[in-house]
Structures are given as structure tokens and as C-alpha cells.
Amino acid sequence: MPNIFSQIDFNSLKNNPDFKEDSVREVIILPLLKSLGYTENNIIRSKTLQHPFLKIGSKKRKINLIPDYLLKIENNYAWVLDAKAPNENIKEGEHIEQVYCYATHPEVRSLYFALSNGVEFSLFKTSGNDTPILYFSLDEFDYYYEQLSQFLSLNSFQLGKAFSYDEGDFFTQSRKDAKKDAKDFLVSQFDYLNRPLLSEITVKKRAAKRHFGVHGYFTKQAWNVVAEYIKNFSQPHDTILDPFGGSGVTAIEALMNNRKAVSIDINPLATFLVNSLIYPVNFDELNEAFNRIKSAYQKNEPNTPEDIKKALKKYPYPKDFKLPKGSDVDTIEKLFSNKQLAQLGFLKYLINKEKNKNIKDTLMLMFSGILTKVNLTYHNNSKRLAPGQGDTSIFRYYRYRIAPQPTDLDLMTYFELRLKKVISAKKEMEYFINENTISNAQIVKGTATDLSFISNESIDYIYTDLPYGKKIPYLDLSIMWNAWLDLEVTENDYNLEAIEGGEKQKSKDEYNELIAQSIKEMYRVLKFDRWLSFVFAHKDPEFWHLIIDTAESCGFEYKGAVAQKNGQTSFKKRQNPFTVLSGQLIINFCKVRTPKAIMKANLGMDIAEIVIQTIEGVIAKNDGATLE
């Protein structure tokens, strides 16, 4: 199996403005074609294909089509390959249609067509649908080579007859065998123990529809950073764990990179958001359900004082749920005007009439998304004049603060907008997350202190963003959504939430104990020679000490920390510049049989000095930045 791209840093190519289509052809495509057995005799470059004509008014004008590569075997074209720039979409859209035209041209009529943008590769069957039969990142080329070779290598095309596979892709026995052979080979070749630490990665926060625009959350890791860590420390089909799963970035990126995912969170809102986002739905049925609800809603929308009064009596809404101390009002219903309560209650009532659970959950995800805007804490952003481009104080200030001038938004307008965003997100994910693969996801409401449902040494990689002390009381702040979504939060959930303070006034010792028990459980479930990455975003040496000391006492070996921006400055950072890092560190450990302790290099140094020197030393490498 070739190792043709081992010297290429694909992450840097994504951000290199000089790496364009011509570079993709020379650096990526030519070595790839040679690895599949093609020589100059088989590679036809930039052949001009004549389109019959283009009619403009009364004139007919011939136009030319010029594919980058036609792969020829004997007298037939087996497949077409086109190069695109790294920032181009090669999984859907106009580029697919363009190359399809090449493949179906009367002079070509190839079985397959493919595209590469230098960092990804997608393969389509000409007679199939618009979903790739193979799609992967080129930094995992070695893993996918056997599958690619069975489709496209010179030897895979039998002379004298069309060689084709069943629609769908890898479900023939030979395809399964190829996948198993590739996995067995690469597990033996992939050096889990000696993985490099990644350099800082440029954040692409809004580039993924699955993580931006569907639903807000209190914190989110940059999806592309998480994806790069997953790919660096694991192989396809490995199992990735995030015991503090939150909005599901780790789990979703694990699935999007052909891994299995286990995500745990004590907050039922978090698990609802992830499950309802990733579960596949029929888009036609979803649109039909939406149109039913929209029609019924607009026919009887409560708008007049009399209609609002009737709706408040008829349609349930959360009552008498106490808000956290420090909120501007004492109960949930006071976060809404009577009109908002009536309209939200009516919309929820209509959604609950839907019988298909997956459709209903998707609609409730949309409903939950507009709760963020349709309440009295929401205010327009002074820098963005358009309605709906504002903020909710819950995410901005981490408390329920009534806006000085609340914004009244049209509920159905934003519910419909949420539909478009949810469908876009699900379509973006459907190649990797679909009916055939959804069983690879395990999204669990539970505590990181008890992973008893996970077997010893069964996890291949852990990436997690720990809750840091008093930073964000997630359960307290989620009460509005949990109440509207009828998600139960128990007293035991509050007891097991790893925070300091909050409504339960939990002590630092309680917090430390919960974090320590979580790390012990992570150690138990992680395989030997596998890695654990913590996101660290606090300057208090005690937090550093807690993580390092507990991890080492379990048997983890500290491997180093990397500075990494997260693409945002939180209110907590603006509010507490001396306790929250600008940016963050990713602390890496490995579970080895004979760990070396970081403390042996201490030489009597105080732990506060170690954390300050480590943090400043790592961050200083990043353009000379230091602690603020």
C-alpha cells in the first residue's frame, strides 16, 4: 500500500492561498494516479469535448467542455477526474454537475467520475444518484486506498466488459473484505503511541452548517480543530469518547470522519440537541409536516388580546419553574410576553400532533432554536440593524437578563428560517451520518463520573472540554429550554454536575472530586497507547494541578500542551480577563504502561510556577502572545 502523501501537511494546504488548481494537479493528482497504476499512455489531459450546441436567440453556437483528466483503458474512457481548489465543495453542487457532464458526454461515457480539491477526494457513479460512492480526506489516503483501488485502479477495469458494482457502494462481500483488509493493515501500521502534537490550527467556525445556525449553546469547540485532533490520534472506525459532550461537536466530527462516537452529558438539553440534529429524516416528509403546521398556525395565530387570552388557557407552557439567583425575574413564564407564551404554546401543540418521532424531534429542535430569539432577553445587535441578528443575554452574559428594549419577532418567519438551516445541516451530514451509520453514535444523558456502560479499554481516543469551576452553570442556564422541551432534570443531576457554585452552592472540593472521578473513568475505558486531549481555558494553577495530578495518579503520561484559539471571545473572558485564558490550551496525555511523571522535572518548583511557565511558554510561541 503506497504512502505517497506522508510528507504533505494537508492542514496547511487548506489555508495556503497559493495552493490552487494547478498545484492540486501536480502535487496531489499525478502521484495519486500513478499509485493506481496509470501511466502517461492512460492519462489524457484537457481533452476538448464538443457540446452539440448552445442556442442563443436564433443562433446556435458550439461550446467546448474540457475535463482535466480522462483515464483511458484500451479504447474506452474508464473514469473522469477534475481538479478544484482546496476551498471548493466537491461533494455537492455545481462542480458535480460539471464533471457529470464530462462523464456522460457521447465521446466519453465513463463508468465513474471523480473530483479532488487537494484535501479531499470524491467519487461518483455516473449511473447513480448525486451522493458520492466514496468520499474521504486525503490525509487518510492510506486507509482508503484499498477501497479506492478496487474502484479505480488500472487492474480493476476488466477488458471486454463493463465492470460495475451494486448501487450503494461497499455492501458486496469483496468491498467488505477490502475494508477489513485495509483496517487490519493500517492498525498494524498506524503508530498510536508516537503521535505528533499538532500545531495551532486556523479556526473555521462558521464554515460548517451542522454547527452554525441550527441552535445556540453556551460553549462550542471549533469543529475543524476537533476534527484534526480526531484524525491525528485515531483511525477510521475507531471509537471516540467525549464525556462532557455538550452540543456534540466531538461526536459529530467523529461520525463525519468515519469513526464511532460516544457522547455523554448530564444536561438533557445537550443530548436532545445532538440526537435530534444527527438522526436522519426524510426531507419530503419533514417539509410536508412543516407545511401542515405552518398552515394550521397561520390560520389560528393568537394575535389579538382576546385570542392570546384564550390560547394561554388552552395551550400549555412552563409555569412556576424557578430561575437561578441573579436573574431579572423569578420564574420562566416572566421571560416571555403573553403574546410570546400564547404563540409558542400553540406552535408546540401543533408540533406534538405529528406522529413520526424523528420528524417531531426535528421540528422540536427548530422550536428550541427559536426559543433563543422569541423571549424578553433577546435584543437586536446595535451593529446589525436587520431584525433577528441580535443576542440573547443567556448566551452573552450567562444569566437571564431582560433586554432594555426587547425585540418582537414574527415567530413563523424564524421557524421557517430554522427549517432551512436544519435541512442544510442534515444534508451536509447525510453522506457520513445516515440510516446505515446512525448506530455508530451513542449519545447518552449521564455523568462522566460513571461510564459503567462502557467496557474497560474499549475507547480509542478522548477529546473533551471540561467544565471549569464557576465558569458556566449549564443546568441552571438551560432551565428555559429544558422546561419548554419537557426534559426532566433531577436533583441527582444537579448533584453530579461538575461545577462550583450554582444554585446548589457546590464547593470547590465537590467540583474537584467530580472532575477527579471523571478522569479516573476516562483512564479505565481508554485503551493502552491511546490519547486523551483536554481543553484547558483557565489561569488558576489549582485547575492545572487538579488535571495533571489526577491524570498522573491514574497512570496517564503528560505529553505536552498546545496553544489553540477557539475563534471567539466569550463574555466570561471579557468579564474575567485574569481568570480565563484568551484562547485555550489543549493538554495531551497518553495511557502508557510505564508512565513518566511530569513532576520529576519539577526540581522543587512550585506548581503555580509550572502552570504559569507552561502556559506562557506555549502561548508565547504563538506570535509572542502572553497572558493578559
Residues of the chain with CATH 3.40.50.150: 205-280+430-591
Q: How confident is the model at residue 535 (pLDDT cuts 50, 70, 90)?
A: very high
Neighbours of 295 (CB within 10 A): 10
Reported as a pLDDT band with limits 50, 70 and 90, residue 180 is: low
Instruction: Output the pLDDT for position 544.
Output: 82
In 242-337, which ranges are continuous DSSP H helix?
Answer: 249-256, 268-278, 283-299, 305-314
Query: To the nearest whole percent, how much of the chain has pLDDT over 70?
Result: 83
162 to each of 52, 70, 77, 148, 264, how far by Cα in Å? 26, 17, 11, 18, 48
Q: Which CATH class is domain 10-189?
A: alpha beta
Band of pLDDT at residue 579, cut at 50, 70 and 90: very low
pLDDT at 13 over 90: no
What is the pLDDT averaged over residues 117-130?
92
Give the 3-state DSSP-derived string for 149-164, with helices as H, strands as E and coil as C. Answer: HHHHCHHHCCCCCCCC
pLDDT of residue 169: 40
Q: Over the chain, what is the mean pLDDT? A: 86
Binned at pLDDT 50, 70 and 90, residue 189 comes out as confident
Residue 163 binned pLDDT confidence (cut-offs 50, 70, 90): very low
The model's confidence at residue 574, banded by pLDDT at 50, 70 and 90, is very low
| Predicted local confidence at residue 237, as pLDDT | 95
Is 282 within 8 Å of 501 (Cβ atoms)? no
301/469: higher pLDDT? 301
Give the pLDDT band (50/70/90) at residue 615. low
Of 6, 28, 31, nearest to 19 by C-alpha is 28
CA dist 216 and 353 (Å) reads 26
Q: In Å, what is the CA distance from 318 to each residue of 330, 409, 420, 487, 494? A: 13, 20, 27, 11, 20
Q: What phi and psi, each to the nearest 5 degrees, are found at residue 361?
A: -65, -40
- Cα(71)–Cα(111) distance, rounded to whole angstroms? 11
User: Which position has the higher pLDDT, 491 or 501?
Assistant: 491
pLDDT at 175: 46
Partners of 49 in the beta sheet?
65
Say whether pLDDT at 1 is over 60: no
Of the two residues 618 and 111, the one the predictor is more confident about is 111
CB-CB neighbours of 569 under 10 Å: 13
Please tell me the class of the 205-280+430-591 domain.
alpha beta
| Nearest one of 453, 524, 14, 519 to 244, comparing CA atoms | 519
The pLDDT value recorded for residue 382 is 57
Rounded to 5°, angle at Cα 366 from 484 and 409: 85
| pLDDT value of residue 59 | 54
Going by their DSSP bridges, the two strands 526-538 and 459-465 should be labelled as parallel
Residue 75: the pLDDT is 86
Q: What is the pLDDT of residue 204?
A: 86
Confidence tier at 247 by pLDDT (50, 70, 90): very high
For 64-73, b where at least 16 C-beta lie within 10 A, e where not — what string? ebebbbbbbb
From CA 572, how far away is CA 466, in angstroms rounded? 15
Give CA–CA dist 615/610, Å, rounded. 8
Q: Indicate the pLDDT class of residue 551, thresholds 50, 70 and 90.
A: very high
Cβ of 202: how many Cβ atoms within 10 Å?
Answer: 13
386 pLDDT more than 80: no
Question: Do residues 95 and 88 lie in contact, with contact meaning Cβ atoms separated by under 8 Å?
Answer: yes
pLDDT over threshold 80, residue 582: no
User: 259 pLDDT exceeds 70?
Assistant: yes
